[in-house]
A and B are shown apart, each in its own frame.
Chain A
């Protein structure tokens, strides 16, 4: 099966680990992510703050391109209702595309003006023509847990995973989201299918701070701290995300958060597709391991997977505390070993 694919700007470089692992997982599961030709940025949460019509036209250019390319014969796997399907792995891109499609259907004036702007570039979009979906939702609903399980060759036994959804896929209700806006469970079920041990994570749909790291860093640091704290309280070995913005904030800003609050968090932030790839037996290096700033090496060691391909198995270091013990600060020498 072939789906249209809108990677979004982050996946080109910053979140390349997500892109490469998404494609690898697709190959294993037998579907193809066919990149939209010459797509442009979705405008994130920025363009809409400046100019509404330009923001909607920017998003609509992608939808118009998708309509042109995906409805062409054999280019895409159509949904049951005949709509061409466009998969977005980034939650922000997903929401922008889906929201534009929805509001263009509801708002006749916005619809006609947006198409007037698109016409200047020789394009046209019929709202409702494209079914925008998030990669997680598509894997869960089209592939299914059983089929995922069937491909697991190296189950993630014993790996404690905090499943983090963030905001933009689960909210707002514009169609195509997961089962619940505040307490979805799809990602946990998927992680369980991989053999991982899913930990409780009450803040799983709380905000990572979005662009506030750039605008009012202290506001963002507090939001990031809450998430890291919560996942650590439940002794998570790793936190999995479904969004490049969440990954960036929790991973790249973890050191800053530690400096700001005097905390000692050391939680690797990975994409859900990376854990899928691991369970499918793929080499960590080929699915973006090593790109994370907070190293996932300890997590790999825990499940007897070497971070380096074909290297000698690294001996597991004995745990310095009892399983049932309270979380302890990490010793500096631990950090040096993993760095």
Chain B
């Protein structure tokens, strides 16, 4: 019998599957592959109405490999980390952890220029990386100056309320072991950078 060989053109060859990439980058066991598209997550989500796509829709899009559409979506940025979806999911998919993974991927791949949330996260951790503790006053002033100067008046009265009750520190507190913490975080970032170069996506 004559043997038939089918040659697949290069363009059709499967790329690393987006679904696997997202799942591998999520700490612990994400169980993303187990999603049965029931929609319990979206129905439980307190900010679902503000999202471009519900988590269920987003997971279908991940499975379909719609990388651009998924990483451009505002969905992860509207996640309030309430974990309702995660405890209600019949397949025990780690929905909230997956949202964090999508945030990281979106930032890394430059999809987030229009969102304020990445800047908030970055400003917050900037103080943590420098002092070892968060610094609310610095965070509020720096972030709001950049993103919503018109809100400054309202934020000002709130800050004043906090000051008068001694609930807002003027200066950040620095931990003693800052050198050690700095070394730890630099090492973690170096390992991450190396993984970026070698494609070790499970780290990112």
Contact = CB atoms under 8 A, between A and B. Distances in A.
Contact of B189 (A44, A51, A209, A293): A51
B80 A40 contact: no
A291 B165 contact: yes
Given A46-B125, A109-B203, A256-B158, A13 B169 contact: yes
B87 A219 contact: no
Contacts of A207: 46, 80, 82, 84
Interface stretch (A21-29, A111-119, A270-278): A111-119
Contacts of A256: 154, 158
Interface string A94-111: 000000001100110110
A51 B118 CA distance: 12
Interface residues of A, number: 68
A83 interface: no
Given A46-B124, A215-B116, A120 B183 contact: yes
B177 interface: yes
Interface string A259-299: 00000000000000000000000000000001111000000
B52 to A, nearest CB: 13
A57 interface: yes
Interface string B115-137: 01110111011001000111010
Contacts, number: 200
Nearest to B180: A121
Contact of B28 (A15, A39, A103): A103
Nearest to A217: B151
A212 to B, nearest CB: 6
A143 interface: no
A165 to B, nearest CB: 11
Contacts of B80: 207, 209-212, 219, 223
B188 A53 contact: yes
Interface string B169-204: 100010111001101111111011000000000111
A290 B165 contact: yes
A14 interface: yes
A311 interface: no
Given A171-B83, A207-B80, A207-B82, A103 B27 contact: yes
Contact of B100 (A48, A209, A214): A48
A52 B165 contact: no
B62 interface: no
Contacts of B107: 49-50
A131 interface: no
A56 interface: yes
Contacts of B120: 46, 211, 214-215
Contacts of B132: 40-41
A54 B203 contact: no
16 contacts: A38-B177, A40-B132, A43-B125, A46-B125, A47-B124, A48-B100, A50-B121, A52-B100, A103-B28, A120-B183, A121-B177, A172-B94, A181-B87, A182-B84, A210-B80, A210-B81
Interface of A: 9, 12-16, 38-41, 43-54, 56-58, 61, 102-103, 106-107, 109-110, 113-114, 116-123, 167-168, 171-173, 181-182, 206-207, 209-212, 214-217, 219, 223, 252-253, 256, 290-293
Given A116-B187, A212-B47, 15 more contacts: A40-B128, A45-B81, A48-B100, A49-B103, A51-B192, A52-B203, A53-B203, A57-B184, A109-B202, A117-B188, A211-B80, A214-B143, A215-B120, A216-B78, A256-B154
Interface of B: 25, 27-29, 46-47, 50, 77-78, 80-84, 86-87, 94, 96, 100-101, 103-104, 107, 116-118, 120-122, 124-125, 128, 132-134, 136, 140, 143-144, 151, 154, 158, 161-162, 165-169, 173, 175-177, 180-181, 183-189, 191-192, 202-204
